[in-house]
Structure 1
Amino acid sequence: MRLIIAEKPSLARAIADALPGNAQRQDGAIVCGDTTVTWCLGHLLEQAAPEAYDPADKQWRLDRLPIVPSTWQLAPRPKARGQLAVIRKLIKQAKEVIHAGDPDREGQLLVQEVIEHMKYRGPVQRLLISDLNRPAVSRALTTLRSNAEFQPLYQAAQARARADWLYGINLTRAWTLTGRQAGHDGVLSVGRVQTPVLGLIVRRDNAIRDFVPHPFYPLWVDLQVAQGQLRAWWVPKEHQPLDEQGRLIDRAPADALAAQLPGATGELTQLEQQEKRQAPPLPYSLSALQVDAARRHGLSAQVVLDICQRLYEQHKLITYPRSDCRYLPEDHLSLAQRSLSGACQNDDTLRQWLDGADFSLRSKAWNDKQVGAHHAIAPTGKPADLSQLSATEGQVFRLIVRNVMAQFYRPLRTFEVKAEFTLLKEAFRARGLSILDPGWKPLFTTREDTPPLPPLTQGEACQALGAGVEEKETRPPEPFTDASLIKAMMNIGRYVDDPAVRRTLRDTDGLGTEATRAGIIETLVQRGYLIRKQKALRATRLGTALIAALPSAVSTPERTALWEQRLRAIAEQQDDAYAFQQALLEDLRSLLTHSDAGKLKHSLQTAKGEAGGVAKRTSQTGKRYVRRKSPGGRKKTTTKN
């Protein structure tokens, strides 16, 4: 008997549907001739608890830390025993086993750890499926590979699981016990990804809280030129009182110049004109989709992930969603017109986009060299009955189809003009943008952010019609939202101070993975470290206090991002899992010496989390500024005297 072990029931059903013969369902399995398909239910096994290694560690004690198993053990998850019994019975009868976990690091671990836990020693092959449609599954069944090829991937996943256990168990126990000494009754959870994510939010909240606005004074002038009018902005000289961004912070010079400008003449002294071509945005990875869905439709990262899983498993409308790739295989190009036509059948908006597509075009999205274990999220081609989808499912599905459809639209062509005028020996700049060919742009927005300028000629004369000075205030950083936090986790190098580390992190996956980022955010909310205020994610008093009490190395991104880099190196056979663990243990022992009840108690007493709202800020001019929302939903700053 040939046994196929899938990662989840939906994948098992898709495999069984693609096998020859009549499928017969059994308890926990599907029999198709001489092949039986069974499944896991996510992780059936988990790292054993500390007391499994030594009963003395059931009680939490500082003098027992760090806890380091000498021989690692796995234990069945409480709800998994029944399915494990099914797999155990079937694997004893199998002459050949096929590993059908998802095509990524965790998928490799999830099924292989079950096979090894059952002590199966026969041949194991690997089935890689990223699309649940029958033709795709049938093709995958004809291209099985040896599971031995994926052993480095398994070792990296196993190293990650063990390292997370060591880090989380030991630091959580240390700071929870320290918290008790400081008067906090509850678990203080610390994790190698969740804590740096919390640290990002706490530091952003602190920057908002401590921000002191100051006024600045941009000066505009309306100019008459040969073929029309335009507005230009003064460029103050370096001897003027300027802030770090070159903005004028003393109104007097601006008022004096504005009074002299009406009627003044000058000329166009610098002119840059350039035609630009912009390729369409690439198809989505999961994180990129979560960012766009949050911005456009206000959906949380977890909601988007849940929707994608339903579109993939239940509706079979999209390919594997937990992808970190934004490129598609080259052999999918010939199938794209058919799959997009199927996806667009039952929706007026999608059909309209389809009518405008030119399938003779080829964008840079079709690139085998950029595709790893996964390719970008794409429609499968199954006709979508949007009346059977929820409103949010329809919104996410349209986004996925749109970004693939955009690959068959012309590039956006624009004509950009930058002009500098000289009047009264002062420089004034204007910028304009004309759209020569909208290309893919109408699929995304019809808004034009920068209006065009009238036709201009180098050296032509101009005359000032009027001028004015605006009073503006600098604004604090925006609080994190699901969209901006996911983007920060993807591009974590931007939040690292060390230039060498930032360069190292430029090409890594950042904090977390495509599959875990949404769950990390929700875990922080559930544990009381974060709250959602409208769309914003703010740290609570407890979350703020924990970050203040922890060593900065635990709450900053450098360590965990470099972890991910080493795990990738293990998967690529460029690093060693044992060496990685030994380095972690050395680091862990050092961190444990920093648990300090006095510091934690002080942090809990002084933390001012954002649960109660945004604090009022006083500007340098003595006014109080309160962040509000206008009736139209746009944030604005109002003053109270």
Structure 2
Amino acid sequence: MRLIIAEKPSLARAIAEALPGRSQRQEGYLQVGDTRVSWCLGHLLEQASPDAYDPAYKQWRLDHLPILPEPWRLTPRPKARAQLAVLRRLLKEAREVVHAGDPDREGQLLVQEVIEHLGWKGPVARLLISDLNRPAVERALGRLEDNAAYQALYRAAETRARADWLYGINLTRAWTLVGRQAGHDGVLSVGRVQTPVLGLVVRRDAEIAAFQPRPFHVLWADLQVAGGQLRAWWQPGEAHPLDDQGRLLARLPAEALAARLPGAEGQLVALQTQDKRQAAPLPYSLSALQVDAARRYKLPAKAVLDICQRLYERHQLITYPRSDCRYLPREHHALAPRTLAGACQGDATLGQWLAGADLSRRSRAWDDAKVGAHHALAPTGRAPDFSRLDDAEARVYRLVVRNVLAQFYPPLETREVKAEFRILDERFRAQGSELKVAGWKPLFTTREETPPLPPLVEGETARALDARVEDRETRPPEPFNDASLIKAMMNIARYVSDPAVKRTLRDSDGLGTEATRAGIIETLVERGYLVRDKSSLRASRTGHALINALPEAASRPERTALWEQRLAAIAERDEAPAPFLSALVDDLRRLLNAADAQTLRQTLAASQAIEAPTPSPRRATQGRRGSAGKRGGKGSKTSNRRASTPRTTGGRARRAKGDA
């Protein structure tokens, strides 16, 4: 009997449907001939809680830290015991096993850890599926690989899970205990990704709070030239009071010039034209889709992830969504006419865009060299039933299809024009854009962003018709929202000051992963560290206090981004995990020594001036995917070395994919 273990039931059903023969539903698996297809339910196993290693760890005490498991243990999740029993029985009867986890680091981990935990000693084949459509699954079944080729990926995922446990359990316990000494009643959760993300928001809030607006002034003049009219802007010279960005700080010089301008004549002294070609935006990665959906439709990042999962699993309309890639395999290009014909059925706008597409065109998106474990999000070709999609699902689906359709449109071609005039011995500048070929642009917007200038000839005369001075103020940075915070996590090098680290991080995956970024934001909201204010994300008082009390290294992105690089080295170059974990333990000891109740007491007091409220204590102490240890028994209230176990759902770390 051949046993195929899928990551989730929806994938198991797709595999069973693609096998030759009739599928029969059994308890916990599907039977197709001599093949049984069973499934996990996400992670069936989790890292054991601290008290599984020593019952004394039920009591949260500073003198227990750091807790360093040896050997590491996994325990079944409570709701997973029945399915684990099914898999245990099926493995005993199997002669061949196929690993059908999702094609990524966590997918490799969650199926393989079950196979190993249940004691299978035979060979394992690897089935990689990123598209649940039957033809795609049939192709994947025809090219099984040896799971041994993915052992480095498994070790990287296992190392990530252990490192997150070490970091989250120890630091959460330490800061919760000193928090109780400082008068804070609740869990203070610390994680290797969530805390630097919170740090980004806290620092942005601090910039906004400290911002002092400064007035500046601009002068424009409407000019008449032979071909029509245009508006040009004064470029004051260094003789005038300017800030570091060249903005005029005194109104009087602008007023004096504005009074002299009407009727004055000058000349076009410099004219620059540049023809530009811009290729269509690439198909989406998950994060890129989350950014666009947040901007267009105000959808939270977690909502977009959930929508994509439904479009992938329930409706089977898009390919695997948790992808960090924006490129497609070359073989998909030949299938595009049939795929897009099915994908655009039932929608007038998509049908119109498909009719205008040149399906013989090949854009830069079709590049096997840039496709890794996953490819970009794309339609499967299944005809959508829009009556079964809610408004948000339909909108996200159209975005995915649009970005693939755009690859079959010509580049956007524009002519950019910059003109400099000299009037009354002062410089004025104007710029405009002329649309030459609309290309893919109408699929994205019908708005003309920069109007064109009238026809211009260098040396021609220009006469000022009118002039005005406008008073403006410098503006603070915008608060983060879902779109900008996801983008910041993707491009984390922008928030690093060290030039060497910045160079290194430009090529990394950023903060978090495609699969975890939305969940990290929601976790911070649920734990009471972030507050949604309309579409903005602000840090709560507790969030500010925690970040300001932690060592700066714990709240900045350098560590976690470099972690991802070390994990990538384990996955891609088969480096040993031990040196990484050893260095982490040394780092943990330094961070634990910095846990200080007095510092936290001061930051909690200072945070009372922060406008964003702290949610109710019940909500603030509830942790999803927590990292603090399972619930334990009661103890004495507080002391320097001892505290009662705070109520938390932590310690069941990594129930879901990703990182806290």
Q: Which TM-score band applies after superposition, normalised by the shorter structure?
A: over 0.9
2:356 equivalent in structure 1: 356
CA distance in 2, matches of 1:389, 1:198: 34
CA distance in 2, matches of 1:259, 1:554: 57
Matched, 1:278 2:241: no
Q: In the TM superposition, what are the counterparts of 1:410-489 in structure 2 within 5 Å?
A: 410-489=410-489
Distance 1:148 1:24, change over 3 A: same
**Structure 1 residue 288: deviation in Å?**
0.5
Q: Residue 174 of structure 2: SS of its match in structure 1?
A: helix
Q: In the TM superposition, what are the counterparts of 1:149-168 in structure 2 within 5 Å?
A: 149-168=149-168
Contact kept, 8 Å, 2:280 with 2:407, in 1: the verdict is: yes
CA distance in 2, matches of 1:612, 1:126: 49
2:323 equivalent in structure 1: 323
2:651 equivalent in structure 1: none
2:621 equivalent in structure 1: none
CA distance in 2, matches of 1:400, 1:112: 31
Could you list the per-position Cα deviations for residues 114-161 of structure 1 after superposition, in whole angstroms to 9, with x for gaps in the alignment?
Answer: 111112110101000000011000000000000010011001101100
**Structure 1 residue 575: deviation in Å?**
3.1
CA distance in 1, matches of 2:479, 2:155: 38
Q: Residue 435 of structure 1: SS of its match in structure 2?
A: strand
Q: Residue 414 of structure 2: SS of its match in structure 1?
A: strand
User: Could you tell me which amino acid in structure 2 is paired with residue 393 of structure 1?
Assistant: E
**Structure 1 residue 574: deviation in Å?**
5.5
Q: Residue 418 of structure 1: SS of its match in structure 2?
A: strand
1:96 equivalent in structure 2: 96
1:377 equivalent in structure 2: 377
Could you list the per-position Cα deviations for residues 3-28 of structure 1 after superposition, in whole angstroms to 9, with x for gaps in the alignment?
Answer: 10000000000000011122111110
CA distance in 1, matches of 2:445, 2:124: 50
CA distance in 1, matches of 2:74, 2:315: 34
1:256 equivalent in structure 2: 256
Matched, 1:334 2:331: no
**Structure 1 residue 435: deviation in Å?**
0.6
**Structure 1 residue 502: deviation in Å?**
0.9
Matched, 1:393 2:393: yes
1:541 equivalent in structure 2: 541
User: Could you tell me which amino acid in structure 2 is paired with residue 367 of structure 1?
Assistant: D
User: Could you tell me which amino acid in structure 2 is paired with residue 600 of structure 1?
Assistant: L
CA distance in 2, matches of 1:575, 1:30: 38
2:408 equivalent in structure 1: 408
Q: Residue 70 of structure 1: SS of its match in structure 2?
A: coil
2:105 equivalent in structure 1: 105
RMSD: 1.0
CA distance in 2, matches of 1:8, 1:227: 66
Contact kept, 8 Å, 1:543 with 1:609, in 2: the verdict is: no
CA distance in 1, matches of 2:610, 2:30: 53
1:313 equivalent in structure 2: 313
Contact kept, 8 Å, 1:47 with 1:75, in 2: the verdict is: yes
1:631 equivalent in structure 2: none
CA distance in 1, matches of 2:379, 2:328: 12
TM-score w.r.t. length of structure 2: 0.92
1:618 equivalent in structure 2: none
CA distance in 1, matches of 2:20, 2:574: 41
CA distance in 2, matches of 1:64, 1:385: 57
**Structure 1 residue 238: deviation in Å?**
2.3
User: Could you tell me which amino acid in structure 1 is paired with residue 263 of structure 2?
Assistant: G
2:628 equivalent in structure 1: none
Contact kept, 8 Å, 1:101 with 1:111, in 2: the verdict is: yes
1:202 equivalent in structure 2: 202
**Structure 1 residue 612: deviation in Å?**
5.4
Contact kept, 8 Å, 1:479 with 1:538, in 2: the verdict is: yes
Q: Residue 562 of structure 2: SS of its match in structure 1?
A: helix
2:38 equivalent in structure 1: 38
2:242 equivalent in structure 1: 242
CA distance in 2, matches of 1:612, 1:92: 55
CA distance in 2, matches of 1:267, 1:110: 71
Could you list the per-position Cα deviations for residues 498-528 of structure 1 after superposition, in whole angstroms to 9, with x for gaps in the alignment?
Answer: 1111111001110111111111011001101
CA distance in 1, matches of 2:83, 2:472: 64
User: Could you tell me which amino acid in structure 1 is paired with residue 98 of structure 2?
Assistant: I
CA distance in 2, matches of 1:569, 1:257: 62
User: Could you tell me which amino acid in structure 2 is paired with residue 381 of structure 1?
Assistant: G
2:501 equivalent in structure 1: 501
Q: Residue 415 of structure 2: SS of its match in structure 1?
A: strand
Could you list the per-position Cα deviations for residues 141-196 of structure 1 after superposition, in whole angstroms to 9, with x for gaps in the alignment?
Answer: 00000001001100110110000000000000000000000011111000000000
Contact kept, 8 Å, 1:539 with 1:610, in 2: the verdict is: no
Contact kept, 8 Å, 2:343 with 2:382, in 1: the verdict is: yes
Q: Residue 573 of structure 2: SS of its match in structure 1?
A: coil
1:611 equivalent in structure 2: 612
User: Could you tell me which amino acid in structure 1 is paired with residue 302 of structure 2?
Assistant: Q
Q: In the TM superposition, what are the counterparts of 1:204-219 in structure 2 within 5 Å?
A: 204-219=204-219
Distance 1:116 1:191, change over 3 A: same
Identity %: 71
1:527 equivalent in structure 2: 527
TM-score w.r.t. length of structure 1: 0.95
Q: In the TM superposition, what are the counterparts of 1:122-161 in structure 2 within 5 Å?
A: 122-161=122-161
Q: Residue 572 of structure 1: SS of its match in structure 2?
A: helix
Unaligned runs of 5+ in 2: 615-660
User: Could you tell me which amino acid in structure 1 is paired with residue 331 of structure 2?
Assistant: D
Could you list the per-position Cα deviations for residues 77-121 of structure 1 after superposition, in whole angstroms to 9, with x for gaps in the alignment?
Answer: 111111011101111111111000000000000101111111211
Could you list the per-position Cα deviations for residues 324-357 of structure 1 after superposition, in whole angstroms to 9, with x for gaps in the alignment?
Answer: 0000000000111111110111111111111111
CA distance in 1, matches of 2:54, 2:574: 34
**Structure 1 residue 199: deviation in Å?**
0.5
CA distance in 1, matches of 2:102, 2:606: 46
Contact kept, 8 Å, 2:508 with 2:561, in 1: the verdict is: yes
Q: Residue 446 of structure 2: SS of its match in structure 1?
A: coil
Contact kept, 8 Å, 1:538 with 1:610, in 2: the verdict is: no
Please say which of residues 197-206 and 601-610 is displaced more in the overlay: 601-610
**Structure 1 residue 271: deviation in Å?**
1.0
Contact kept, 8 Å, 2:152 with 2:574, in 1: the verdict is: no
Q: Residue 290 of structure 2: SS of its match in structure 1?
A: helix
User: Could you tell me which amino acid in structure 2 is paired with residue 611 of structure 1?
Assistant: A
**Structure 1 residue 609: deviation in Å?**
3.3
Could you list the per-position Cα deviations for residues 446-475 of structure 1 after superposition, in whole angstroms to 9, with x for gaps in the alignment?
Answer: 111211001111222212122111001111
CA distance in 2, matches of 1:227, 1:506: 46
Contact kept, 8 Å, 1:262 with 1:467, in 2: the verdict is: yes
1:589 equivalent in structure 2: 589
CA distance in 2, matches of 1:416, 1:317: 40
User: Could you tell me which amino acid in structure 2 is paired with residue 402 of structure 1?
Assistant: R
Q: Alignment length, in residue pairs? A: 613
**Structure 1 residue 559: deviation in Å?**
0.5
**Structure 1 residue 576: deviation in Å?**
2.3
